[in-house]
Structure 1
Amino acid sequence: MSKAWIEDLWLTEPRETLPDGSKVKIPVPSSVTKSLAAYMKTPEKAKVPGKFKTARYGHGKRWRVSWWATLPDGSKKRSSKAFSTRADAESFAAAMEDDIRSGRYVDPADADRPFQAVALEWLASKNNLRGRSYLRYENDMTRYVLPKWGDRPIGSIQESEVSGWVHELQSGTAPHEFKRKTTMQPMKRRTIKGVVKDAFGGVMAYASSPKRRWILSNPAADVELPQDAETDDRVFLSHQQVADIAEAAARVDVKNPMVSKLLILFLAYTGLRANEALALRIGDLDFTRMRISVTKTITADRQGREIEGKPKSGRNRIVPIPGFLTADLEQVCDGRTDDDYLFTALHGGMIHLNTWRTRVWYPAKEGAGYGDVKGLRIHSLRHTYASFAIGAGCDVKTLQSIMGHASATETLNTYAELWPDRIDEVAAVMEAKYQQWEAQRRE
């Protein structure tokens, strides 16, 4: 049996019993097929004897292509698709057999799945995704992806269409759905990557995985993203600038000045992420060994509620305490228990980063005279620590460990240009070693 075959759903070959009792099929006469061909739009006018008519004669599409295919799990599945003309059925059957033989087969029923249904299934499968990451995917899906692709069959989405969508996102003209604001702003490359490659691309990669093969390939995989005019938005502060912002924070936060000032200094001279610092308990500081144990961070669950979770990349780490911060840190810890948060709000309890950013950070950088510094964020204090550490001679692996990067490659990709150029130094040492060897050889 061929892998794909065509059936006539209107005409049939009836069986007749011969005098000897055997049964034979009676072929449909050519006169019948010609008459029906002449009256396809009004088949009731065709001269077709009743014995050659099927139960669905004259109703629906006439031709059906059926085929057997091997599914990703190794099982066999029979599928079919109806066509109005024989030519369309033959063309489809030939293409289907070619796909089956070449391994490009995709079940049309799977390719017709609505993107939104697949997206919901993909989101539900992300069991290991951190709450904040899940919320980012969910928000990008709701705001940008589903308004564009929600009702589309996943198999109909082409790479050229995705490329066009990238241009729409970049120009701020893409379909979107916001709960509050109504105007969409042009997107930068980083945001486009999150929407196109991570959210949309994640769904399409899920659909095209060997386990499912609902579509042949991910149409977002090879789509190129635009380059921003300015790709480096990192800010590295000087010691004086850090001190200026810390002092300004103390002036802004009149009811809790020491904590806000110390928090800024702490972030700039330990390299912790802000939410890692806010999750610290007093017991995480070891003043004997001058070490900080970073084992948690403030994150969010899938409902957006703040909770404590593992640090980014899921790894605990040890960070040194700068000696010049010891006195202030000990003063903050004095008279409190190991289970208390290190940095607390005025009436105790955890500091909420978003609130502190609005209430203290923004006014402090304005008050220090740095409000016009493009890209200056709380995270800039972490970048600043990296620049201080590299300037002090810190190597890549040590900085990776302190910063909590997943790999040394991430550290180099982020801060490679901060390490000093030692070409001349290396050349000079090689020259000295060679001359030393040459002198020994001549002795």
Structure 2
Amino acid sequence: MLRAAARDRLIARDPSEGVKLPRIRRAQHAMQIPSPDAVSAAMSAAPDWFRLYIALCAFAGLRLGEASGMQLGDVQFLKRQMHVGRQVQRAGAGKIKVTPPKHGSERDVFIADELVAMIARHAEEIGVRGDEQWLFVGPFGDPPHQNTVGYWWHKTLAAAGLESFRLHDLRHFYASGLIAAGCDVVTVQRALGHAKATTTLNTYGHLWPTAEDRTRAAAADLMATSCGLSADSEAREATTSA
């Protein structure tokens, strides 16, 4: 913006020219991905109404504001998918505002049967609120904003005896699971609601197998096929040789 303003002669010069940017930590060092055991412990310790909230972050990759903005009508039970079309943001003094999700983030998320059943159970046992059928509500009857969610998240971590990690880290947990299952960049991008595939690669590129990993795996398959060896027989031969 400053460079454009200087080109258009709205300002005499770009005041940011020559400014050094702070060093950014590599994604693999800055990112914290909770273990499946930690996620399980958090869900077990969570209050009944909050358990689904955690599940939407961990098993559907929703951001906090997106999870807070979910309505029962967003879930297509027979198709096993949910539509992410809004987010909840703070508006000061405990108030909220409901807005469209981040640019490029509106999406349909394909969800597991178990999560579909969990949503149905939540609607039946916990219930929904208001004409909009909000899945979650805060202390004033509106969808919960970041402060309310943060309060319950820290209570849950304490009850589970877990070291502190962010609720947003469950989104990393979801992404890492998709990548480990062999999903490609575009699939992960769409599931997370990233506007560009480069955002996905910049954030999670270190989690994908490297060229060396793929080369070794392909070579191992070729060798097993050509030599008539199974993985079990190769393992036995390696053990015997050792």
Normalising by structure 2, report the TM-score: 0.78
Per-residue CA deviations over 1:332-379 (Å, capped at 9, x if unaligned) read 223758821122347743122212212x111222332323x5xx2111
Question: For residues 39-438 of structure 1, what are the structure 2 equivalents within 5 Å?
Answer: 202=1, 204-205=2-3, 207-208=5-6, 210-216=7-13, 218-227=14-23, 232-250=29-47, 258-300=48-90, 306-334=96-124, 339-345=132-138, 348-358=141-151, 360-371=152-163, 373=164, 376-420=165-209, 421-427=213-219
Query: How much does 1:277 deviate?
Result: 1.0
Amino acid at match of 1:240: D
Amino acid at match of 2:188: L
Contact 1:268 1:382 in 2 (8 A): yes
Amino acid at match of 2:149: W
For this pair of structures, how many residues does the alignment match?
Answer: 220
Query: For residues 433 and 213 of structure 1, what CA distance do their matches in structure 2 show?
Result: 68
Contact 2:138 2:144 in 1 (8 A): yes
Contact 2:88 2:143 in 1 (8 A): no
Amino acid at match of 2:202: N
| 1:175 equivalent in structure 2 | none
Query: For residues 422 and 227 of structure 1, what CA distance do their matches in structure 2 show?
Result: 31
Query: For residues 347 and 211 of structure 1, what CA distance do their matches in structure 2 show?
Result: 49
Stretches of structure 1 lacking an aligned partner (at least 5 in a row): 1-201, 251-257, 435-443
* Residues 338, 403 of structure 1: alpha-carbon distance in 2 compared, 3 angstrom cutoff: farther
* Residues 214, 356 of structure 1: alpha-carbon distance in 2 compared, 3 angstrom cutoff: closer
Contact 1:283 1:338 in 2 (8 A): no
Amino acid at match of 1:342: L
Query: For residues 11 and 66 of structure 2, what CA distance do their matches in structure 1 show?
Result: 41
Query: For residues 326 and 347 of structure 1, what CA distance do their matches in structure 2 show?
Result: 27
Query: For residues 133 and 75 of structure 2, what CA distance do their matches in structure 1 show?
Result: 12
Query: How much does 1:432 deviate?
Result: 9.6
Query: For residues 189 and 24 of structure 2, what CA distance do their matches in structure 1 show?
Result: 27
Per-residue CA deviations over 1:109-161 (Å, capped at 9, x if unaligned) read xxxxxxxxxxxxxxxxxxxxxxxxxxxxxxxxxxxxxxxxxxxxxxxxxxxxx
Contact 2:69 2:86 in 1 (8 A): yes
| 1:196 equivalent in structure 2 | none
Stretches of structure 2 lacking an aligned partner (at least 5 in a row): 227-242
Per-residue CA deviations over 1:193-231 (Å, capped at 9, x if unaligned) read xxxxxxxxx5x44641x2234213x23244222326787
Tell me the C-alpha RMSD between the 2 structures.
3.1
Contact 1:278 1:343 in 2 (8 A): yes
Contact 2:76 2:82 in 1 (8 A): yes
Query: For residues 378 and 219 of structure 1, what CA distance do their matches in structure 2 show?
Result: 38
Indicate the percent of aligned positions where both proteins have the same amino acid. Answer: 35
Amino acid at match of 2:19: V
Contact 2:90 2:145 in 1 (8 A): no
Contact 2:57 2:67 in 1 (8 A): yes
* Residues 213, 351 of structure 1: alpha-carbon distance in 2 compared, 3 angstrom cutoff: closer
Query: How much does 1:307 deviate?
Result: 1.2
Query: For residues 349 and 302 of structure 1, what CA distance do their matches in structure 2 show?
Result: 14
Contact 1:279 1:308 in 2 (8 A): yes
Per-residue CA deviations over 1:368-425 (Å, capped at 9, x if unaligned) read 2323x5xx21110111111111112211110000100111111111111112332212
* Residues 356, 229 of structure 1: alpha-carbon distance in 2 compared, 3 angstrom cutoff: closer
Query: For residues 370 and 303 of structure 1, what CA distance do their matches in structure 2 show?
Result: 31
Contact 2:68 2:144 in 1 (8 A): yes
Amino acid at match of 1:319: V
Contact 1:273 1:379 in 2 (8 A): yes
Q: Highest relative contact order (Cα 8 Å, sep 6+), 1 or 2?
A: 2
Look at both structures and tell me which one has the larger radius of gyration over its CA atoms: 1
Amino acid at match of 1:412: L
Contact 2:105 2:194 in 1 (8 A): no
